[in-house]
Structure 1
């Protein structure tokens, strides 16, 4: 792992900011952890009992890794091309391994290879076989993008073969379908039994073109700023949501976008950079440094009527991914990015250093949730809302009159929520020394916002909302006493 995070970076992050050097440190540490995780998958597979991972599956994994290594050597990391002399092209193999959704796949493999966590039942063996086969598609894509001729035996599942960053092939039959992939002269031929060949042409960056109706290309949004790379809008990857994760039980299901919905994403995204910049130029910089893909979710049923709601999340096992329902506007999208990237920064920081030693007991009041929260949940929520309070205050101070009042209202609400959570954080006895410096920086940022207070009416309404929320929360936590009969 990388060296301990410096105090300067702790102070930056605690204030909900982060210099390019600090954000790069977080990203490099997460990338290093991903590579170690992948190494762990390979080692666990090779050491697994044949009843868990067969000799044929182990051989296939070794072949896939060899193909990835060849692709890495063909286009080494840091190679400069005539088209990008000032911005090195990354290795195609590394880009696939470090793609956010490779993390959930790797953890799925590790769980499947652990006979204690997943006993070798027929269903578990089937899930593991499918997970390990996904690695073959990942290796094939890396080799195809590196221009390496190859032939690989792939497997489609439930009528779909997914090739990360290229697209998906709807197979001619359901179930597990063998597909032979052959790459020559910049095109990939996909051959399956009793079906016509499908030829796809990988495009530079993301996606692949094909005239076949069975092929669905991967999609991307334009770069956040003109010089940035396109951002994957991934509605195809089979590992794009956290199944059964209680932390994300409120999320809606993943969705595959149609053309009108994809246009709505593009409309919101096209104004997001300007909306982010209105809340501080550093918000654009952190999105460029940390955001690697977007995963569309269905719109929650209770948000469909007003078009103003939605849901979003980040995943600790998928650093760089943001899961989100269709954003209603660029400003709402910008707010979602600020909120979720705060979570991503704090999660990455918590991997680098221990901030507290609190237990999992849920007993803290958090005004953004109806249920008691554990200390870590309180810290995460307060940090996300601190970022939003900062974003909307900066926006209120610079916005035109038509949008100023809305920004002040949101700033006042978020700052009041942070203020309600800070006493428990600042007074905690289980903070480490670094955790104390981090929370102190949060408190300082909160206090500094008082130099430019929201108009009195917005502050009063925010405090009234907070008081009502606390009263309702207290009632929910107080056991009801049955009245005697008569």
Structure 2
């Protein structure tokens, strides 16, 4: 069989792989804070996980008849384009593959049964390869499917069309999306790895202030197919991006005032903010991060800038811990019997050890943030009292969860050391005088699903 094989080099790969997680790295990350070298380690770990999913897809396609011949031939054409793009700019190929919705698509595709269903989902790989090639500055021409009248370019935008396939032709700084053999269509412009566009049917993603984060309210894979959180909320349809842009700016400003290092971490690790449809129950708030798509925060509309600031911090920790656990397993099922379930303060349902660790880690970061927020100058007496009340509640919740974890036999040795370091940080937060603001020298509100 021709075409890519699992033994071949995967475009976007980095031969050296992720760096080693040392005990010092674990101890730093247990404090819910990332130094610059730790951020690089986590991003490399995320990329390694994405390549593993991509290699799993290649392996799946090696087993005939996973998909009909024409679907396999299209996949090979798209793969060659990805290799062509990598020859131009490998880093931009890697950035495209690492975009959160690509992880969701890969997981969704790997779960599809062989045959036409897998072939249909496999068609989106062409849009992934085309996006990488656009960002890498490669010249190419490709026909891309637009199922349901939508062609999504991950992290870039979406074309609504009555034509399928759509012809994408890229040459120099410009590209055009048009019916095959047709004229006109939407125009895309590319410069320094960024792609913008305008014209019939084209909608681009809004880039939020202060970093590389986008408001992703277009990509069909921006949320899991079954919805987010225990209420299975769907992604919200596109509306005016202004309110979300204002929410983001206000939340980021609060984080920078209360904890500049925390704000830096959020903008370094997040790639997109995904609005969820409001829950049916008034006042119900949902946020989520998914293990296959770290770097995306899914959330219902916030009622205040502080609420969104806390969601950003909370969900960033879930993504960090998911990647870290893939690099160094922190817990494992017991060799005999079923995994234990435990009650925690922030969920109504009993949680396995992995869920307890995820929740404790995210809430430890919130406790750290709330300690600092309670010390901000200029707070009214009422606001300071509320901040202290929320701080104390969070500290108590984390302390109880850490006791559960320290008594668990399901932690690995690395997980045990990680939880002990979390406990030390919690003790530092409760000392008179407040938290230790030094994060050390670095090497060069829902649980994660």
Say yes or no: TM over 0.5: yes
Shift in alpha-carbon separation, 1:452–1:395, aligned structure 2, 3 A: farther
Do the aligned partners of 2:27 and 2:418 also contact (CA within 8 Å) in 1? yes
Q: Which runs of 4+ in 1 moved over 4 A?
A: 193-196, 203-207
2:138 corresponding residue in structure 1: 148
Do the aligned partners of 1:322 and 1:340 also contact (CA within 8 Å) in 2? yes
Q: Would you say how many aligned residue pairs link Structure 1 and Structure 2?
A: 412
1:256 pairs with one of 205, 222, 237: 237
Using the alignment, how far apart are the partners of 1:397 and 1:76 within structure 2?
A: 45
Using the alignment, how far apart are the partners of 2:136 and 2:411 within structure 1?
A: 47
Using the alignment, how far apart are the partners of 1:151 and 1:416 within structure 2?
A: 59
Using the alignment, how far apart are the partners of 2:325 and 2:86 within structure 1?
A: 30
Tell me by how many angstroms 1:354 deviates.
2.0
Using the alignment, how far apart are the partners of 1:401 and 1:377 within structure 2?
A: 34
> Which gives a bigger RCO, structure 1 or 2 (Cα 8 Å, sep 6+)?
2
1:318 corresponding residue in structure 2: 293
Correspondence 1:411 to 2:401: no
Using the alignment, how far apart are the partners of 1:368 and 1:199 within structure 2?
A: 47
Do the aligned partners of 2:173 and 2:190 also contact (CA within 8 Å) in 1? no
**TM-score with structure 2 setting the length:** 0.85
**TM-score with structure 1 setting the length:** 0.79
Do the aligned partners of 2:174 and 2:190 also contact (CA within 8 Å) in 1? no
Correspondence 1:164 to 2:179: no
Shift in alpha-carbon separation, 1:453–1:23, aligned structure 2, 3 A: same
Q: Deviations over 1:350-371 (max 9, x none)?
A: 1111222345645312011112
1:236 corresponding residue in structure 2: 218
Shift in alpha-carbon separation, 1:296–1:126, aligned structure 2, 3 A: farther
Do the aligned partners of 2:68 and 2:119 also contact (CA within 8 Å) in 1? no
Give unpaired runs (5+ residues) of structure 2: 1-16, 435-449
Q: Deviations over 1:435-479 (max 9, x none)?
A: 11111111112222222399xxxxxxxxxxxxxxxxxxxxxxxxx
* 2:410 alignment partner, SS class: coil
1:64 corresponding residue in structure 2: 78
* 1:302 alignment partner, SS class: coil
1:49 corresponding residue in structure 2: 64
Larger Rg belongs to? 1
* 1:66 alignment partner, SS class: helix
Tell me by how many angstroms 1:414 deviates.
0.8
Tell me by how many angstroms 1:147 deviates.
3.3
Give unpaired runs (5+ residues) of structure 1: 78-90, 113-117, 455-486
Q: How does 1:50-449 map to 2 (within 5 A)?
A: 50=65, 52-77=66-91, 91=92, 93-112=93-112, 118=113, 120=114, 125-172=115-162, 177-192=164-179, 197-204=184-191, 206=194, 208-212=196-200, 214-223=201-210, 228-229=211-212, 231-244=213-226, 248-259=229-240, 262-303=241-282, 309-359=284-334, 361=339, 363-402=341-380, 403-449=383-429
Q: Deviations over 1:173-193 (max 9, x none)?
A: 6xxx22222223433333337
Do the aligned partners of 2:135 and 2:194 also contact (CA within 8 Å) in 1? no
* 1:401 alignment partner, SS class: coil
Tell me by how many angstroms 1:348 deviates.
1.4
Q: Deviations over 1:19-48 (max 9, x none)?
A: 221222122111122123213322322x13
